[in-house]
Each structure stands twice: as C-alpha cells, then as structure tokens.
C-alpha cells in the first residue's frame, strides 16, 4: 500500500508531503485544484517518461518520492530478478534535473524506467473512465479468470514446461539444420578423408622419404665415391690407413721420452681407431647400396602423393595433414551420430508436449468450471450499478498452439441491452459502462487475489446519485482487502471513505500553489455539504452531509 508521497518543484506544487492510510481514501477538490498534478506525479513513480515542462522552477531539481508497504505482495523474487535490495518499506524516487535528464531509484538503487514499470504495475493501479483499454486486453481477462480458477500454481508449472518445450524445439531445429548442412558436406568430406587414409601418412615420414629418394636417385654417384674412398683408405702403398699405421709406429718409439710425444702418439692412435670405424662403415654402405628402380618409383610416387596433399590443403608438413584427417573423421562421425541425437530430442519433445497438453487441459478445465460463477457475479454487481440488462458470454476455444498461459483462445463478449447482440467489450460498452464493468471485475478480483493499491479517478462521472452510492459501497467492500483511492466529485462516494483528503490551490506572494491535506470530521462535513449544495452552506446541506457520513 502507498503510505507516503512527497512532491517537490512539480507543476503547481512547491513542496508537498502527505501520509496515507489503508482502507478507502477519498480525494476531492475543485476542478483545476491539482488532482491531475497528483496523478501526474504518481505516474512518474510508475515509470512514465519525465517532461521538463512539468517542473515548477526549471533552475531546481524536481523530486517525487513514494513509500510503499509491500509486505503482503510476495515481491522478493521480483526484486531478486531485477537485482534490487528488498525492503518491506520500499521507497521509489524520481528526479528531474534542470538539464532535463531524469533519474529513478528504488531503495536508493539507480534503475531504468523498465525496472520501474515492472515494479510499478505491482504496486499501484491508476484507473479512470478513459483508461479502460486494460479491460479489453486478453491478458487482463485471463488474469481475472485464472484468479477465480486458482490456476497460479498450474500456470507456474506450465510456464516452466513451456520453456523446456521451446528449448527442445529450438534444439531439434538446430540439429536438423546441422544435419542438412552436414549432408551437403558429407560426400566431399568422405572423399577427402579417403584420400588421406589411402596415403597412409606417418608422422615424420616426409624427411625419411626425401632422404631415401635422394639415395636411390643418385646410387651410381654414391657408389663411385664410396669405392674411391675405400681405395684411398685401404691401398697398401698410398692408403690412409697404412700411412697412419706407420706414423703410429714411429711415434710409439718417442712416447717414453716426454709427455708431449706421448700425447701426440695417443692422438694418432685414437685417429687410427676412428679411421678403422669409418672404413668399416664405408664397407657396410657399399654392401647395402644397390640400384632399385622399383623402390625409387614407389618412393617417388609416395612423395608425389604427399606433396599434392600438402598443396591441396595448403599446409607445410605431414603433422598438419594428419590433424586435418582426424578433423574430417570427427565431422563424419558427428554426421553419422546426428540421426541418433535427432531421434532422442524428438522423444524428449514428444514427452514434454504430452505433459504440456495435460497441464493445459487442467488449466482449461478449471477455467471452464468458474466461468458461470464469474458471469453471475459480474452481472449481479452490474445490476446494482444501474445496468440490469448487462450480460456476458465468455467462451474458451481450443488453440492450435501452446500459448504463454495455456491452450485457450478467449472470447469475452458483452451485451449491455436486453435483446442486444453480444460483441467485444470495446465495441459493446460505452466509456461509462466500461468503468462500471472494471469496478465490478476489480471488486470480484479482491476476493481471490492480492491486488495492488488502486486509484479510481472520477470513474463515477455521469453516474446518478443512487448508482454512485452503490459504487461507493463496492469500493468500501474492496477496501477491506486492499488500499483504495477514489478521486470523486460525488458526495455519496466521498462519504464512504475511511479517510478524506482535499486538494486545493492557494496564492502566496502572487504565486499559485497546489496543496493537499487530510480533513477532520468537521471539515469533511463542510466539504461534503459544499459538494451537495455549493459554496453557500445551508443547514439542510450540512444535515444531509452528516447523514451521509453516518
């Protein structure tokens, strides 16, 4: 409920602060006194866009602040989702700076207008004769029906199931698109993989093949050089081995003379051992070496295959080709497994759809059950409000698709006159009739759900004294379960309030200001008497005012 409102530097208001009580609060005042200014300030609290022209003194900041007691509204989850600090007494503040910029705060946390609007609709509902579009909105009509049907828990479960259903549908579509795309690439990828598999690639193979090719391709030259080297080492007259053996023999006689001779002798002996090794290895290479045209052709062919693959895939070594081969293999395996994934997702989707259908059927059944009760309650209330021939025809038709709140299409039809045709509310009811229908619906809703504070702005316009009295009674009944405000010009409604506030203008130093104050019992009598008979108070008007208040 709205517990306090303060407005500074807004329109005709310089500095206003007022506290409100629960129950039915009446707001009265002459036309132009500032009631619309009050509503304008509250609209800013609800997230309406700010206008610098509404600021009284554009050299100063305009501040509008409202305090709400939200202990009964179950809003902790909303505060969490909006990343706000939850406070049982929540303060909403709007500021319009001289620059024209606007700022909004919830419990001193800066917020954008979207967050303000999300919270605002849960706290305050401003309704006037000209603001009845909500009544013709399907979402609002379903809200009424589901409140009476006690569908809150079912709808919460349905919402979670619908979310899963949509996710599965999205996943299935993605898998099917992936499969379609994969099928286009499958043949080509399979061809590329076969090429790489047939090549039987081995890590580090390229260097080995290149070395083998060079050997086989130059076998005669290698043979000639090895033979020449063998001859130079093994010749008895001029061979390197024989000469080095003779040098070793000569130096061995000097090795005992000094360490210098011994060192050079040992180096020659070591060189002779290394030379023997080289000689043996040359002999082995000679034995192994032979021309092999077939092997040369094989090596050359394999090199050609590898080089073609390197060029085709724009890489520089076999390791990269092997990585490409494994990646292609993975893609093909994924394609082959897509059918399994699609089948599994389809099964999950079917199971989810069955559960969703059960939930939507249960929601539909509960809605259908309460429609006669809702129709009867609304028609009874409207009869007391001067619409004895008002009739409703509310129909639930099955939808082809799952909607956000079930699987029903709603027809909320109305006829105001006896024998008249049923039609949509916005076509069948006048503005004044829509206001009374809204009042009837809100009064029914208060019995089944916790509504936010509601402010009726002159919805009694054009209503007779007896009907206005009935409207006042309905507001009184509503106010037992929620906070209700009524801005009215009718004394019959004004007298029904638990608390009465008056909006008035006063001139200070040739400047007009709007003010609001809570009236005492005596002031209420005077105010209602003036509403009955004008500014000239008669004893009969005062007596009538007292009678209405009693």
pLDDT in tens, 13-43: 889 999 999 999 999 988 877 788 888 899 9
Mean pLDDT value of segment 534-543: 83
Q: Are residues 254 and 265 in contact, defined by beta-carbon separation less than 8 angstroms?
A: yes
**Residues in the chain, overall count:** 550
* Rounded distance between C-alpha atoms, residue 217 and residue 201, angstroms: 22
**β-strand partners of 69:** 89
- In Å, the largest CA–CA distance within the chain is 159
Residue 147 covered by a domain: no
Query: Is 224 found in the same domain as 119?
Result: no
CA distances in angstroms from 500 to 32, 477, 506, 525, listed in the order given? 18, 17, 19, 11
Residue pair 452/73 in contact (Cβ under 8 Å)? The answer is: yes
For residue 425, being part of any structural domain is answered with no
CA distance 395 to 236: 122
Residue-level pLDDT at 518: 94
**CA–CA separation, 420 vs 332, rounded Å?**
69
User: Which residues are registered as beta bridge partners of 111?
Assistant: 104
DSSP-derived letter for residue 55 is B
Report residue 379 CA to chain centroid gap. Answer: 41
pLDDT at res. 460: 79
Q: Is the pLDDT of residue 212 over 80?
A: no
Asked if 209 and 309 sit in the same domain, the reply is: yes
Arithmetic mean of pLDDT, 399-425: 90
Q: Domain for residue 330, yes or no?
A: no
98: nearest Cα among 59, 44, 51, 54:
59
pLDDT in the model for residue 241: 75
**Is 113 within the bounds of a domain?**
yes
User: Is residue 389 over pLDDT 70?
Assistant: yes
Is the residue at 344 inside a domain? no
What band does 95 get if pLDDT is binned at 50, 70 and 90?
Answer: very high
| Boundary (domain end) residue, out of 267, 289, 316 | 316
Residue 59 placed within a domain: yes
For residue 134, CA distances in Å to 43, 90, 138, 274 come to 16, 26, 8, 105
CATH of residue 112: 3.40.50.300
Instruction: Check: CB of residue 241 under 8 Å from CB of residue 282.
Output: no
422 secondary structure, DSSP code? P
| Cα end-to-end distance, the chain, whole Å | 27
Residue 289 pLDDT: 67
From 14-18, 146-150, 189-193, 533-537, the region with the lowest mean pLDDT: 533-537
Cα within 13 Å of Cα(189), Cβ side: 19
Instruction: Give the per-residue pLDDT at 203.
Output: 85
Query: Considering the domain boundaries, does residue 305 fall inside one?
Result: yes
Q: What is the pLDDT of residue 287?
A: 67
Mean pLDDT for the chain overall:
86
**pLDDT tops 90 at residue 290:** no
pTM: 0.68
Q: Which residues pair with 126 in a beta bridge?
A: 455
Give residue 12's pLDDT.
87
- Residue found under tokens 């209330």: 381
The mean pLDDT of 293-304, rounded to a whole number, is 78
Only one residue has tokens 């049923």, namely 422
As a whole number, mean pLDDT of residues 488-497 equals 93
Q: What is the pLDDT of residues 301-355, one digit of tens each?
A: 888 888 888 888 888 888 888 889 888 888 777 677 788 889 999 999 999 999 9
Tell which of 316, 333, 364 closes a domain.
316
Q: What is the dihedral of CA 137, 454, 484, 40, to 10 degrees?
A: -130
Q: Evaluate whether residue 244 is within a structural domain.
A: yes
Per-residue model confidence (pLDDT) at position 350: 96
Q: What integer pLDDT is reported at residue 158 of this predicted model?
A: 96
Looking at the structure, tell me whether residues 7 and 119 fall in a common domain: yes
Return the axis-axis angle of helices 431-445 and 465-478, rounded to nearest 10°.
30
Residue-level pLDDT at 167: 96
Average pLDDT over residues 276-302: 75
- Give the separation between CA 486 and CA 27, rounded to whole angstroms: 6
Q: Tens of pLDDT along 46-58?
A: 988 888 788 888 8
Percentage of residues in the chain with pLDDT exceeding 90?
A: 43
* pLDDT score of 146: 93
Domain that holds residue 18: 1-123+452-519
Task: Report the number of distinct structural domains present in the chain.
Answer: 2
| Alpha-carbon distance values, 204 to 208, 302, 318, 321, 322 (Å) | 7, 14, 7, 12, 11
Judge whether residue 476 has pLDDT over 90.
yes
CA distance 65 to 42: 9
The token pair that represents 515 in the structure block = 């003010």
For helices 293-312 and 318-384, angle between their N-to-C axes, nearest 10 degrees = 30
Give pLDDT tens digits for 157-198.
999 999 999 999 999 999 998 888 877 777 787 788 888 888
The three-point CA angle 482-483-488 to 5° equals 130
Q: Name the least confident of 97-101, 134-138, 356-360.
A: 134-138
Cβ atoms 414, 438 nearer than 8 A: no
Query: In terms of domains, do 107 and 224 share one?
Result: no
User: SS3 for 20?
Assistant: coil
Query: Which comes out higher in pLDDT, residue 105 or 513?
Result: 105
Instruction: Check whether residue 104 and residue 222 sit in a common domain.
Output: no
214 φ, ψ (degrees, to nearest 5):
-60, -40
Where are the extended beta strands (E) located within 89-192?
89-96, 102-106, 109-111, 124-128
C-alpha to C-alpha distance for 149 and 270, rounded to whole angstroms: 107
Read off the pLDDT band of 240 (50, 70, 90): confident
Average pLDDT over residues 8-12: 90
Which residue, 267, 288, 316, sits at the end of a domain?
316
Mean pLDDT along residues 427-443: 84
Predicted confidence (pLDDT) at residue 215 exceeds the cutoff of 80: no
CA atoms within 13 A on the CB side of 420: 18
Give the pLDDT band (50/70/90) at residue 7. Answer: very high
3-state secondary structure of 514: strand
Task: Name the pLDDT band for 91 (thresholds 50, 70, 90).
Answer: very high
Task: For residue 342, give every residue at least 6 positions away whose Cβ sits within 8 Å of its Cβ, in sequence order, or none.
Answer: 172, 175, 176, 179
């Amino acid at each position: 409920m709205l517990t306090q409102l303060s407005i500074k530097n807004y329109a005709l208001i310089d500095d206003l602060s007022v506290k409100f009580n629960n129950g039915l609060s009446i707001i009265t005042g002459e036309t132009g006194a500032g009631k619309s200014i009050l509503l304008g300030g509250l609209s800013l609290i609800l997230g309406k866009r700010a206008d610098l022209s509404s600021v009284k003194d554009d050299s100063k900041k305009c501040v509008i602040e409202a305090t709400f007691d939200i202990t009964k509204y179950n809003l902790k989850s909303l505060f969490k989702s909006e990343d706000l600090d939850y406070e049982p007494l929540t303060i909403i503040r709007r500021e319009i700076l001289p620059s024209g910029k606007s700022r909004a705060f919830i419990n001193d946390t800066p917020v954008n207008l979207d967050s303000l609007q999300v919270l605002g609709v849960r706290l305050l509902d401003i309704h006037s004769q000209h603001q009845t579009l909500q009544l013709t909105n399907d979402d609002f009509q379903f809200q009424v029906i589901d409140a009476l049907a006690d569908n809150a828990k079912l709808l919460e479960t349905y919402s979670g199931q619908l979310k899963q259903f949509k996710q599965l549908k999205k996943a299935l579509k993605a898998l099917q698109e992936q499969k379609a795309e994969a099928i286009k690439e499958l043949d080509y990828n399979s061809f590329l993989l076969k090429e790489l598999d047939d090549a039987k690639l081995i890590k580090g193979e390229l260097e080995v093949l290149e070395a083998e090719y060079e050997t086989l391709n130059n076998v005669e030259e290698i043979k000639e050089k090895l033979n020449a080297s063998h001859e130079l080492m093994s010749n008895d007259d001029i061979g390197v081995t024989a000469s080095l053996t003779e040098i070793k023999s000569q130096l061995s006689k000097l090795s005992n003379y000094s360490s210098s001779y011994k060192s050079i002798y040992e180096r020659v002996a070591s060189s002779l051992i290394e030379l023997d090794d080289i000689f043996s290895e040359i002999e082995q290479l000679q034995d192994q070496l032979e021309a092999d045209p077939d092997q040369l052709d094989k090596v050359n062919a394999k090199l050609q295959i590898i080089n073609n693959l390197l060029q085709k895939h724009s890489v520089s070594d076999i390791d990269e080709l092997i990585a490409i081969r494994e990646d292609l293999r993975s893609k093909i395996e994924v394609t082959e497994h897509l059918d399994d994934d699609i089948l599994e997702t389809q099964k999950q989707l079917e199971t989810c759809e069955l559960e969703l259908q059960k939930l939507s059927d249960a929601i539909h059944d509960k809605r259908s059950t309460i429609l006669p009760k809702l129709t009867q309650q609304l028609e009874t209330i409207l009869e007391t409000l001067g619409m004895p021939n008002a009739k409703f025809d509310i129909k639930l038709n099955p939808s082809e698709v799952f909607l956000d709140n079930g699987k029903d299409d709603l027809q909320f039809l109305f006829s105001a006159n006896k024998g008249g045709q049923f039609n949509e509310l916005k076509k069948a009811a006048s503005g004044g009739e829509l206001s009374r229908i809204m009042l009837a619906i809100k009064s029914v809703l208060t019995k089944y759900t916790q509504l936010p504070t509601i402010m009726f702005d002159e919805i009694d316009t054009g209503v007779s004294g007896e009907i206005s009295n009935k409207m006042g009674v309905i507001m009184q009944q509503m106010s037992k379960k929620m906070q209700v405000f009524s801005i009215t010009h009718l004394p019959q409604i004004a007298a029904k309030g638990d608390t009465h506030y008056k909006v008035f203008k006063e001139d200070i130093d040739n400047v007009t200001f709007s003010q609001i104050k809570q009236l005492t019992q005596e002031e209420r009598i005077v105010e209602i008497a003036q509403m009955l008979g004008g500014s000239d108070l008669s004893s009969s008007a005062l007596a009538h005012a007292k009678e209405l208040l009693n």
